[in-house]
Amino acid sequence: MNIIANPERLRGFERRIRIEKISRRSVLKGLGIAGGLVLAAPLTSRQAFAAYQTGAAKMPHGTVVDPRVFVAIGSDGIVTIVAHRSEMGTGVRTSLPLIVAEEMEADWSRVKVVQAHGDEVKYGNQDTDGSRSTRHYLIPMRQIGASARTMLEAAGAKRLGVPVGEVKAVNHEVVHASSGRHIGFGDLAADAAKEAVPNVDGLKLKDPKDFRYLGKGQVGIVDLRDITVGAAQYGADVRLPGMKYAVIARPPVTGGKLKSFDAADATKVPGVEKVMEVQGWPWPSKFQPLGGVAVIARNTGAAIKGRDALKIVWEDGANASYDSAAYRTELEEAARKPGLIVRKEGDADAALKAADKVIVGEYYLPHLAHVSMEPPVAVANVKDGKAEIWAPVQSPGGTREDVAKTLGIPEDSVTVNVTLLGGGFGRKSKCDYALEAALLSKALGAPVKVQWTREDDVRHGFLHTVSVERIEAGLDKSGKVVAWRHRSVAPTIASTFAAGAAHAASFELGMGLVDMPFEIANIQCENPEAAAHTRIGWFRSVSNIPRAFAVQSMVGELAHATNRDQKDMLLELIGSPRIVRLDSVKDLWNYGEPYESYPIDTARLRRVVEYVADKGGWGRTVPKGHGLGIAAHRSFVSYIATIVEVSVGDKGKLTVHQVDTAIDCGTYVNPERIQSQIEGAAIMGLSLAKYGEVTFKDGKVQQGNFDNFRLVRLDEAPLLTNVHIVPADVDTPPSGVGEPGLPPFAPALVNAIFAATGKRIRTLPIGKQLET
């Protein structure tokens, strides 16, 4: 399959580099052609109903709008709907099928959801990342449901011998109101399947006032019962007859390789069957395995014991001197010198020189590990030139591609079965663990499960970047901010794909740096170089974490410097309600969305600030020793604002009393899951703020498990978290939910800590900083 696609790409950076060499115009033209190839042409057309355009068509393999692919109706009336995105806790496996059910008038209690294999030619793009699923699929899923409904109505009208205009699908039946006759979907299934699939251009979508499910939040996730009884199947739970269990010892330094190993003691461990080398690829190697030594056993426990008994000599390679403390100094030095200018309005240098007062904030945020509760794990069965994979992957299509390439077999010889994901957060968009399983299964001629231990996960993942963000803000005599210079220095995700990549890619620049929405006359954003020394990857919210932390902390610093209320300062900086123009920014990413549909709209940003201030009681009187902090950030084309109330007690004990978050994510499908995502973002935000840090010494990660890569637990969770969803018109394009809750949390927290204590936190994690 051709595919030029993928400018924003998360799957293959090499594709992206190729695209960047050709003109924007030819990319768009090429994409148009690619889109035409993807769809089963006459039945489908993109965005026929959409009042707005999305970036869905630009994703690899675009979208497929075909009820025959996504919907099946049994003669028993059970409607089976395909979920083609991966479930990692966002609720997408429920939400997208729910849209289809809504539009086709299926009764949700008679709907069964089945998970798609990785097959993007059939289903369209399956990458579950970038908080895209609802915004890219709300309209296509409605169209699929409406097509199915139209076919059922046509079949029903024929059976009843009445004009099709006189019947209507209602709650799993086609009803002829004037005669009171009705026929169930099951009875019509065979006839409906013979009806022509309607052209989407003529489809009539339901009037939103008739919605039973969309926007209501009354439907639990489809896996709820299975989860509570231990029956839900994650990647780790797959068991095949004759399956072997493997764990792998990987090079402790990124880019290192195996020199020699002694397996004598390992093979003596009861249950260990074999010890063998696993192929590794030279760094940077995209998602290819790191290589090392695999221990194969009859169960995972034996494999782990066997691995502990291995004696291995590694060759550490070029990153053997990576040291977090020294690297921080390097980043700070780079941030204090001019760097590549990536946005320029007015003359920030001159305006800073002329300013009455300059406030400087330099913020440091370390590497983070994803630590999904289910560590990476995959099962592979490779035989007779075919490969079958069972794995918790965010990118089933990409996994299929990479397994085929790694084994040297055609893609159609690879089946990728997508299990539930025990958390993803971006880690499981990289399929190295599935590739390891495929290589081992091929070598052993048997099904193999590769299980990563928690230490493997922390030490050999694709870490969140580490960054220094330096902001200089110039004030005039009246206290108005007239100049803003933001230098962002961080190793780029591009370095995982291309040796020597040292500047942020456009998608990284577009996450809170160049898209900063404040109304300031002189703005300059710079991106000095930073070399990577470990694998850097996407982590929930990605570069928005450090950028929102810096920008929103600076708002707090400016409020303090000018003796103003934080919220007033924030609104003043956001400025007038307007669509932000970013003419000086080349390749503005905008999360892959067309700017016309998803502009930076400061009216919406102002509104979430006002909304959370109102609902969350901004300005309320808090007990002595408590403080309130606020932060707002647009990411994944959604608008979020958060208020945190904290107190700092004896020995720096931090208590989060209340969190209020307002989200404007446009029109939405399942408010109950929006609420759960935002509640969870507060916990993840608190974890990264209090404890989150992966450090390196002599090229090796110093943490390994939850004892030293700590996470927030229930006894230190916020005492109350409120989520306020800004009501949106059904025509407001839907936007991200999974990621955007995270970025504003940490800056709201440190602004609250400042209000409570007068102590400004500029380095994360907070660690022991409050003890003194």
Partner 1 sequence: MIKLMINGQERSWDGDPDLSLLWYLRDEVGLTGTKFGCGIAECGACTVIVDKQAVRACITSVSDVVGRQVTTIEGLHPTGDHAVQKAWRELNVPQCGYCQAGQIMQAAALIAENPKPTHDQIREAMAGNICRCGCYQRIENAVHLASTGV
Q: Walk across the sheet containing 79-83 and list its strands.
A: 71-73, 79-83, 111-115
Q: Is 274 in the site for partner 1 (CB under 8 A)?
A: no
Q: Which residues inside 333-372 make contact with partner 1, applying CB under 8 A?
A: 371-372
Among 18, 112, 225, 383, binds partner 1 (CB under 8 A): 225
In the complex, the smallest distance separating the C-beta of residue 151 from partner 1, rounded to whole angstroms, is 33
Task: Please identify, using beta-carbon distances, which residue of 197 and 674 lies nearer to partner 1.
Answer: 674
Give the integer Cα–Cα distance in Å for 185 and 165.
Answer: 18
Question: Binding to partner 1 by residue 381, rule CB under 8 A?
Answer: no
The first and second tokens of residue 767, run together, are: 């660690």
Closest approach, Cβ 683 to partner 1, in A, equals 3
Using CB under 8 A, pick the residue from 8, 66, 237, 601 that binds partner 1.
237
| Closest distance to partner 1 from the beta carbon of 14 (Å) | 31
Which residue in the set 37, 224, 354, 360 belongs to the binding site for partner 1 (CB under 8 A)? 224
Q: Does 740 bind partner 1 (CB under 8 A)?
A: no
Q: Is 649 in the site for partner 1 (CB under 8 A)?
A: no
Considering only residues 384 to 443 of the shown chain, the ones binding partner 1 according to CB under 8 A are: 420-425
- Looking only at residues 162 through 181 of this chain, which bind partner 1 when binding is defined by CB under 8 A? none
Binding mask 85-124 for partner 1 (x = CB under 8 A): --xxxxx---------------------------------
* From candidates 115, 413, 676, 702, binder to partner 1 by CB under 8 A: 676
Peptide linkage before 546 cis (omega within 30 of 0): no
Which structure tokens are listed for 336?
């204090």
What does the H/E/C string look like for 708-751?
Answer: CCCCCCHHHCCCCEEEEECCCCCCCCCCCCCCCCCCCHHHHHHH
**90/524 with CB nearer partner 1:** 90
Question: CB-wise, 367 or 485, nearer to partner 1?
Answer: 367
- Dump strand ranges (E) for 531-648: 626-635, 638-648
Q: Which of residues 299, 354, 410, 568 is near partner 1 by CB under 8 A?
A: 299
Spatial neighbors of 640 by CB under 8 A, at least 6 apart, are 608, 632, 633, 634, 661, 662, 663, 664, 678, 740, 741, 743, 744
Cβ count within 10 A of residue 385? 10
**Cβ atoms of 263 and 297 closer than 8 Å:** no
With CB under 8 A as the contact rule, the residue among 468, 475, 644, 681 that binds partner 1 is 681
C-alpha span between 71 and 14 (Å, rounded): 35
Of the candidate residues 69, 72, 78, 232, the single one contacting partner 1 (CB under 8 A)? 232
Structure tokens belonging to residue 87? 């479930």
Q: Which of 308, 720, 731, 771 binds partner 1 (CB under 8 A)?
A: 720
Q: Decide: is 721 part of the binding site for partner 1 (CB under 8 A).
A: yes
Among residues 371, 428, 348, which one has the least CA distance to residue 128?
428
Window contacting partner 1 (CB under 8 A); options: 48-56, 628-636, 688-696, 716-724: 716-724
Task: Determine if 375 is a binding residue for partner 1 (CB under 8 A).
Answer: yes
* Under rule CB under 8 A, residue 223 binds partner 1: yes
Q: DSSP code of 90?
A: S
Query: Which residue in this structure is represented by tokens 């028993």?
Result: 76
Contact track, partner 1, 523-562, x by CB under 8 A = ----------------------------------------
Which listed range, 100-108, 346-354, 650-658, 679-687, lies at the site for partner 1 (CB under 8 A)? 679-687
Of 160-168, 401-409, 701-709, 725-733: span binding partner 1 (CB under 8 A): 701-709
- Whose Cβ is closer to partner 1: residue 234's or residue 538's? 234
Tokens 């052993």 label which residue? 444
Which of 365, 545, 662, 683 touches partner 1 by CB under 8 A?
Answer: 683
Nearest distance in Å: CB 592, partner 1: 25
Q: Are 519 and 545 contacting, i.e. CB atoms less than 8 angstroms apart?
A: no
C-alpha 523/C-alpha 346 separation (Å) is 6
Tell me: does residue 713 bind partner 1 (CB under 8 A).
Answer: yes
Cα atoms in the 13 Å half-sphere on the side-chain side of 340? 18
Q: Mask: binding to partner 1, 301-330, rule CB under 8 A, as x and -?
A: xx-x--------------------------
Alpha-carbon span 570 to 744, nearest angstrom = 13
What is the CB neighbour count within 10 angstroms for residue 386? 14
Could you tell me the end-to-end alpha-carbon distance of the chain, in angstroms, rounded to an integer?
Answer: 61
The distance of closest approach from Cβ of residue 694 to partner 1 in the complex, given in angstroms and rounded to an integer, is 15
- Backbone torsions φ then ψ of 365, nearest 5 degrees: -130, 125
Distance (Å, whole) CA 441 – CA 244: 9
Region of 154-162, 274-282, 692-700, 702-710 interacting with partner 1 (CB under 8 A): 702-710
Closest CB to partner 1 among residues 228, 478: 228
Residues 654-673 that bind partner 1 (CB under 8 A): 672
8 Å CB contact between 239 and 245: no
Beta carbon of residue 93, minimum distance to partner 1 (angstroms, whole number): 11
**CA gap 676, 671 in Å, rounded:** 9
Minimal distance, residue 507 CB to partner 1, in Å: 24
Report if residue 236 touches partner 1, rule: CB under 8 A: yes
| In the complex, minimum distance from the CB of residue 374 to partner 1, in angstroms, rounded to a whole number | 5
For residue 60, which of 18, 31, 91 has the smallest C-alpha distance?
31
Contacts of 648 by beta carbon, 8 Å cutoff, 6+ apart: 625, 654, 655, 753, 756, 757, 759, 770
Task: Give the separation between CA 12 and CA 26, rounded to whole angstroms.
Answer: 20
Q: Tell me, what DSSP letter sits at residue 669?
A: S
Dist CA 442 CA 435 (whole Å) = 11
Q: What is the binding site for partner 1 (CB under 8 A)?
A: 87-91, 220-221, 223-225, 227-234, 236-237, 239, 245, 270-271, 298-302, 304, 371-375, 420-425, 451, 453-454, 672, 676-677, 679-684, 705-707, 711-718, 720-721
